[in-house]
Structure 1
């Protein structure tokens, strides 16, 4: 007997009398304001439910929780229509919407999409290809993807080859239309294995935005000799057909690269082609094979400005501090701060305690980056006296004395410009060679301003300023760096003394007259070149002024108008085509090797290479695909 017939014996009709799902329940007993019913869908298990005579919400929740989908069977399979404003129609529509959404998601997750996700997971995290053969991983994917198949390791190798080939072609196509490029190179050694990395950078002609691509991440076998490194640089430049476009190669100040370019670059006063050296095959000599020489084309070397500043901090700063009167104070202060960092780094409880007291995460510096150490000192200095006292007490470390805190505060104030300059040089998108000279000049001025009020670091400031002049003297003497700075609208010639500006203006005019500016109307003009030249052959009005003189006069006028301008945005270069070309030529060079360091900085990539059992070739492909993922389409077709 269903609920409707049982209620028929009473004078008061319950809510179940008109409920569309009443046939799923059987009336059993009356219990005051409630009624007891049995769920027919739970049979043969007897499941008695209590519900109000005026509401069926409990029973509807039971259907949604235990028998989702029963709404498709109403009154023995005949579905009754309901109006939108009826109370149960909204809840039923919500359930149908959830089911429809699940069906759409299931249908949209195609096999190609699953393969793309697997490929991106392997490339982004440098995972082992053998992971695809693990039964647990295959079951996980098949369960998450509604039974979709997991591609095997052989298919993944094929896909990596295909996508890498497409990526390489795309990079070469982009570089084919570029006139000026800059490369950065570095060698990284870990786990007794050495890798050579190289990135390429250029400026888009239209948008003047910096573009980057990874070119190489290859294994260096044997000793890192000069000829091996020079051969890698040359081979990658030739492979991408950019050996004639590279303005400079930026490296750190380490002895391998300095020795390479000193060995293979030919001095300017020698009568020979520019930047040509010879690569002597040392391996062949050691193996008693016939000697083979290969002609090398190495570009100009540009030393990393960021690394030069790091050397000033790591060597000149410490030398001046160790020989000065503040040596003992410096060592005692940094020893306490280092103990503080060590506990926060190694003990989770200490880190949580610091966060709880200071209400902010406290940075722990990396060994190789001084600017990170500076930020960590700033965190300590920002603590109040109460916070610092409580923190030292709870961590069990010696409290900093007032003089030591004063030492740290002056440290944070004096060397703030130095930390800012380092961060500026390590940028990539908006950092150009023309930024280096003004930054170094501003850094020296700001350091000298601090000497008048410095109590602890006056002698150190003098030592750092002297070290800056010594280590950057080649840069200040570089004509290329001066032109790069002058063609940057933010600086122009404002950084030069008045006596040097006339000479620099003449130099810009000479350089500008030798470049071919790309004007907006150049395409339209080229369409009528043949007709104009044929008419010029007929008409003659006497001697003509040399074209070189006319071009130099036009370049001088353009340079003068540019130097008189006040706009600081790169957009103003669009009005000065010759200056724009000079900017592209000389500011393509980056001031630091930060991009190639980022190529090596992926967490655990070198460790993962051993764990994943990848060959050197496939490991290089994975690293380059990961690095170029933002510029190229590395997803599978």
Structure 2
């Protein structure tokens, strides 16, 4: 132990750690020093224990270093047992102070020639034998099976949630980190992770989610998407969305993400969805089917006979892509893409762009921005590319002339035109973000968002301050929204969602749509409830004389039994007259 500490004050019994230079008190025992190593320098502590086990030696908990204190055990021995201090040739045991040669104490030579007390009483002692604790007893015990299983699950969850490869368990840095956290935990290998642990955890999770769906789901909306991977393998993903009618909690769960047998035809997609619906016991519970607007998805919906609606965000994407394909707009975007592409491929150009922001614009080194490149399948990436390009306008115009590269020239008028392009596309971008969400209800917002977009783009299309290409872009978007969302108010599912959302109610519906929606709601409610007042039959016997006969007769005559239709209609009218809640509030709450 004293290889790792040095005495700094013999009178006060103070020792200094050789690693962190912390001063500790050891006085009559070295337990304080050992605890310090165990808590602050675990690796050193384990090394001492390892050497201890190899040499068959033990370090007593309460001995003192021979030669440091004249009252310690003679020679190089280490005093053992309790807090006793050896005097003369005696060896301390328990809490007593031995003088001369104490009886009943065994002593045996240490490796260095000193004496080490064994703390074992002699044959005449009445007390049960005491075992001296060794340093290895302070180490944490081997993990139990339950503890090992829990840590394995946490490791697998980390790999799944953070999209880490299974090979992380072979990385030296990760292995050292895990060992530092818990030396007794042995990492599973890649094969165990992928073939045993993953399969077991998947089955457990699948059973849990199926149990939740069976217990809580009475009706479900499913969203379906198909795609082909980079290795040309076809996939299908099915997500279910439902509301727990007891807790009114909105939930979304991935039901399936698997290879799709065959090509992406409507028949194959319908078959895969049908098998998933049967596996999850959802037959008769699917009330809505949301996909993109591809013909194969519409064909699958027809085969399954599910109420189908094209994804709102995907429809907005089609509107935007069609508008961005205008020759006046496309030519400008093509120039920007060429410039962005060069900055993405050239490290020198990127370095100059960043340095200009730092040196000339006073941007912090970690806050300097780079350009964004759009992707063909997401129109909003084009908006983000244009927005970032305009934001870095000064840095780009200062950097490009110094690159000695033939990049497209963007005149000042075209820069201003780009700013107006972004102004035109921003409402469409915001609508896409709102309608792409999964953690809150979006169907009731469809009509409201559509009306808002039409109102904005009708004003933009007639704004004479815009350049001609910008006005054409606004008019094209406006026409696209009118064309693709022309029948949105004819979809009873959407209008009912809107009317029953206490944030919007009837304010988003015209009179004709409102009346048809209310009629549908009243008929639906009447079909699932019965009369809640029993029929009154006249009594044959003459009622007894009472002070209350006249008033009860008048009340009974005025309160004739009402039909279910009348009561439901009144309930709907009362709901409609109540105040709407704020737009930020949750309609389920």
Match of 2:537 in 1: 540
SS in 1 for 2:282: coil
Contact (CA 8 Å) 1:119, 1:156: kept in 2 or not? Answer: no
Provide closer, same or farther for how the CA distance between residues 443 and 143 of structure 1 changes in structure 2, counting only shifts above 3 A: same
- 1:115 is displaced (CA, Å) by 1.6
Equivalent of 2:153, from 113, 116, 120? 116
Per mean C-alpha deviation after superposition, the further-off stretch among 221-230 and 430-439 is 221-230
Contact (CA 8 Å) 2:498, 2:505: kept in 1 or not? Answer: yes
In the TM superposition, what are the counterparts of 1:586-601 in structure 2 within 5 Å? none
Q: Is 1:168 the counterpart of 2:168 in the alignment? A: no
Contact (CA 8 Å) 1:210, 1:428: kept in 2 or not? Answer: no
Match of 1:18 in 2: 11
Match of 1:559 in 2: 572
Residues in 2 aligned to 1:438 and 1:348: alpha-carbon distance in whole angstroms:
46
Match of 2:110 in 1: none
- 1:429 is displaced (CA, Å) by 1.3
Q: Is 1:436 the counterpart of 2:446 in the alignment? A: yes
Contact (CA 8 Å) 1:141, 1:150: kept in 2 or not? Answer: no
Equivalent of 1:157, from 179, 184, 195? 195
Match of 2:478 in 1: 465
- 1:445 is displaced (CA, Å) by 0.7
Equivalent of 2:388, from 374, 379, 393? 379
Provide closer, same or farther for how the CA distance between residues 104 and 424 of structure 1 changes in structure 2, counting only shifts above 3 A: farther
Contact (CA 8 Å) 1:188, 1:194: kept in 2 or not? Answer: yes
SS in 1 for 2:264: coil
Provide closer, same or farther for how the CA distance between residues 421 and 142 of structure 1 changes in structure 2, counting only shifts above 3 A: closer
* Cα deviations by residue, 1:555-600 (Å, 9 ceiling, x for unpaired): 212211221222325979679xxxxxxxxxxxxxxxxxxxxxxxxx
Provide closer, same or farther for how the CA distance between residues 332 and 229 of structure 1 changes in structure 2, counting only shifts above 3 A: closer
Provide closer, same or farther for how the CA distance between residues 400 and 493 of structure 1 changes in structure 2, counting only shifts above 3 A: same
Residues in 1 aligned to 2:149 and 2:220: alpha-carbon distance in whole angstroms:
37
Q: Is 1:220 the counterpart of 2:260 in the alignment? A: yes
- 1:252 is displaced (CA, Å) by 0.7
SS in 2 for 1:18: coil
Q: Is 1:338 the counterpart of 2:377 in the alignment? A: no
Provide closer, same or farther for how the CA distance between residues 371 and 300 of structure 1 changes in structure 2, counting only shifts above 3 A: same
- 1:332 is displaced (CA, Å) by 4.6
Match of 1:200 in 2: 240
Residues in 2 aligned to 1:372 and 1:206: alpha-carbon distance in whole angstroms:
41
Contact (CA 8 Å) 1:21, 1:74: kept in 2 or not? Answer: no
Contact (CA 8 Å) 2:526, 2:564: kept in 1 or not? Answer: yes
Which structure: larger Rg? 2
Provide closer, same or farther for how the CA distance between residues 357 and 556 of structure 1 changes in structure 2, counting only shifts above 3 A: farther
* Cα deviations by residue, 1:116-157 (Å, 9 ceiling, x for unpaired): 23322443466666887x697997688554253343535753
Contact (CA 8 Å) 2:239, 2:256: kept in 1 or not? Answer: yes
* Cα deviations by residue, 1:284-319 (Å, 9 ceiling, x for unpaired): xxxxxxxxxxxxxxx22211111111111222x145
- 1:477 is displaced (CA, Å) by 1.9
- 1:104 is displaced (CA, Å) by 7.0
SS in 2 for 1:489: coil
Residues in 2 aligned to 1:479 and 1:188: alpha-carbon distance in whole angstroms:
30
Contact (CA 8 Å) 1:20, 1:80: kept in 2 or not? Answer: no
TM-score, normalised to structure 1, is: 0.60
Provide closer, same or farther for how the CA distance between residues 195 and 208 of structure 1 changes in structure 2, counting only shifts above 3 A: same
- 1:350 is displaced (CA, Å) by 4.0
Match of 2:314 in 1: 307
Match of 2:422 in 1: 412
Provide closer, same or farther for how the CA distance between residues 184 and 516 of structure 1 changes in structure 2, counting only shifts above 3 A: farther
Equivalent of 1:485, from 483, 490, 498? 498
What is the RMSD computed on CA atoms of the aligned residues? 4.4
- 1:340 is displaced (CA, Å) by 3.1
Match of 2:398 in 1: 390
* Structure 1 unaligned blocks of 5 or more: 1-13, 25-38, 42-59, 82-98, 266-274, 276-298, 518-528, 576-637
SS in 1 for 2:438: coil
- 1:229 is displaced (CA, Å) by 1.2
Provide closer, same or farther for how the CA distance between residues 510 and 15 of structure 1 changes in structure 2, counting only shifts above 3 A: closer
Residues in 2 aligned to 1:399 and 1:72: alpha-carbon distance in whole angstroms:
83
Residues in 2 aligned to 1:215 and 1:308: alpha-carbon distance in whole angstroms:
24
SS in 2 for 1:229: helix
TM-score, normalised to structure 2, is: 0.65
Per mean C-alpha deviation after superposition, the further-off stretch among 220-229 and 410-419 is 220-229
In the TM superposition, what are the counterparts of 1:507-546 in structure 2 within 5 Å? 507-515=520-528, 540-541=537-538
Contact (CA 8 Å) 1:138, 1:150: kept in 2 or not? Answer: no
Match of 1:295 in 2: none
Residues in 2 aligned to 1:549 and 1:477: alpha-carbon distance in whole angstroms:
32
Residues in 2 aligned to 1:142 and 1:129: alpha-carbon distance in whole angstroms:
15
Provide closer, same or farther for how the CA distance between residues 356 and 148 of structure 1 changes in structure 2, counting only shifts above 3 A: same
User: Which structure shows the bigger proportion of residues in helix conformation?
Assistant: 1
Equivalent of 1:184, from 200, 211, 223? 223
